[in-house]
Structure 1
Amino acid sequence: MQPQSLSPSTLATQHKDRRAIACHMALLDALMRPLLDLRISVTDRCNFRCRYCMPREHFGSEHVFLEKTEILSYEEITKVASAMLPLGLRKLRITGGEPLVRKDLSNLIEMLRSLDSNLDIALTTNGILLAKHAQKLKDSGLNRVTISLDALDTEVFQHMGDTAHRPDEVVEGIDAALKAGLGVKINTVVQRNVNENQLGKIALMAHKRHIIPRFIEFMDVGT
């Protein structure tokens, strides 16, 4: 006997839990795997000019960033996430640019959390502003953060990020996130003859804090 095909309305009646609905309505990729993650960039602006990401020669003072009216509002982002939930959304990634340069980001986290208490909400950040916002983000419903940290030596850090900020500011953000109860991972972009001598230091710092470092090989694709 073939399984009965149920309409979305019938499913909604029989299954209050969105997860039950999602198994019948999930978005699938070309290999028929369910698409469970949604990544949303909340800004194209950043307070770094990492040479492998937003190099200053392309994103300098004359670069034209998106106008506020061209960026989705928090209400619009929440509507997108809400529409994806019945289709199987399980994980939501907030990215940028640097998402923490956008004002009142914790308000967005709170709005997204109100959609589903089981939604896994994560934030990718360079960590510079995290110490200031970690507790409020956690209180608003954020689950975890992924923090970019390419070096612990100030000279190497400032060279790679083309910034006057210091690595200890990022470490302060890491510690604030841990104190707030957020899950923490570290991403390190590895460039030959630039920061490979930093990997052991970063691994040791992460080990002492019982967090996971991830080392990502730099691929020059002509940024």
Structure 2
Amino acid sequence: MTDLGTLTIPKKKTLDVGNGVSFSTNGHYFTAPSELDLDTCIDGLTAPLSVIAQVTKRCDMDCDYCSETLQRPDPTLDQLDTMRKNLKGVKRAFLSGGEPLLRKDFSEIVDMWHKDFILAVPTNATHGHQHARNIAGKIAYANIGLEGPRGVTNRVRGDYDTIMKGVQALQEAGIPLALSTVVLRSYSEYLPYTVQIADMLGAGKVKLIMPLRKGNALDLAEHEFMSHEEADSVYRRIMELRTTLMWRPAVRLTKWTPENEGHMICVEPNGMANAWPVYVAKDLFEPLGNVMEEPITELWKRYRFKRNHVTKYLGRSILAADYTEPADA
């Protein structure tokens, strides 16, 4: 890794996904040849490419759009070890929340999981200084939730300066970064600043995600939900600026279309694995089974969104521009 603010994303790895098919990944996203036969790929997969494992539901923020407001007890280290064993075959795991860094034993969880998966950590970074040194070199990147400049982030998420202190701690430990933001109409005009911040931080990716009507977002005013056409327009404007200003981070926009339904597999703290988001399901979760009781390979057999899963993680059902390597890389 290089100096603060000029971090580059990890080098690509080649992953065998079965049936003679290989993907490459830099941790942030997967890529495959454009001529890839998806049916051959899907038939070869015996487990998901990526899962979200919620190690806690607790959080020290109360974001306007948060979907994960239903509380559950934290899993024990023994339970997380059982989940780890039963998730064998998965390529990448997000150790998520809530806010995962609230767990005082978070570095122990990373120690337990990092040899089996490409690990990423979605976090608000407010406790980054407590764990950064212990998880450095073991996670592919930390995905920081950030809505943009100080005024915007303070309004919808939490204290910008506290977040950035945590981000600095993660950077100083050499941990690659990505940013993610939920796109609301009231601050959509400021999203280019989010990409500018990501570029200044040396982040590998910016994820723009449309809100879902769940949790706190059930109380959002209707005008905060942009149409797909409006979101496309915002994305095009960002792409124009990205080209003109030579911003390097990958930029991805996820809209909730039929092609993206159920594409994620989210494992709750009690081990219950769900396809998510399933638009007509309660809490948008469609239960698949419990990974404290059976392996993910069995749950994968009954998962009905395999095509959506693969096309999303290959960036084919979303708007996606890849990371631009520095000229002297």
Common topology (TM > 0.5): yes
2:80 to 50, 60, 77: 77
Q: Distance in 1 between matches of 2:49 and 2:107?
A: 23
Residues 80-116 of structure 1 show CA distances to partners (whole Å, capped at 9, x for unaligned) of 212322xx22111111111111221001111113x53
Quick one: which amino acid aligns to residue 126 of structure 1? N
Quick one: which amino acid aligns to residue 104 of structure 1? D
Report SS of the residue matched to 1:215: strand
Query: Structure 1 or 2: larger strand share?
Result: 2
Structure 2 equivalent of residue 7 of structure 1: none
Instruction: Note if contact 1:152-1:168 (Cα within 8 Å) is conserved in structure 2.
Output: no
Instruction: Note if contact 2:93-2:119 (Cα within 8 Å) is conserved in structure 1.
Output: yes
Instruction: Note if contact 2:128-2:166 (Cα within 8 Å) is conserved in structure 1.
Output: yes
Instruction: Note if contact 2:106-2:131 (Cα within 8 Å) is conserved in structure 1.
Output: no
1:181 to 155, 174, 182: 174
List aligned pairs for 1:33-182, cutoff 5 A.
34=45, 35-53=48-66, 65-67=71-73, 71-85=74-88, 88-113=89-114, 115-116=115-116, 119-138=117-136, 141-154=138-151, 156-161=152-157, 163=158, 166-182=159-175
Q: TM-score, normalised by structure 2?
A: 0.48
Report SS of the residue matched to 1:151: coil
Structure index of larger Rg: 1
* Residue identity (%): 23
Change (3 A) 1:196 1:131: farther
Residues 35-93 of structure 1 show CA distances to partners (whole Å, capped at 9, x for unaligned) of 132321011111111111169xxx6xxxx8434xxx321222122212322xx221111
Q: Which runs of 5+ in 2 are unaligned?
A: 1-14, 20-41, 219-329
Q: Distance in 2 between matches of 1:33 and 1:198?
A: 42
Change (3 A) 1:23 1:215: closer
Residues 145-174 of structure 1 show CA distances to partners (whole Å, capped at 9, x for unaligned) of 1110013223x323212x4xx212222222
Quick one: which amino acid aligns to residue 177 of structure 1? L
Q: Distance in 2 between matches of 1:23 and 1:197?
A: 43
Quick one: which amino acid aligns to residue 174 of structure 1? V
RMSD between superposed Cα atoms in Å: 2.8
Change (3 A) 1:78 1:23: farther
Quick one: which amino acid aligns to residue 159 of structure 1? R
Q: TM-score, normalised by structure 1?
A: 0.69
Q: Distance in 1 between matches of 2:213 and 2:51?
A: 26
The number of residues matched between the two structures is 179
Query: Structure 1 or 2: larger helix share?
Result: 1
Higher RCO (CA-CA < 8 Å; seq separation 6+): 2
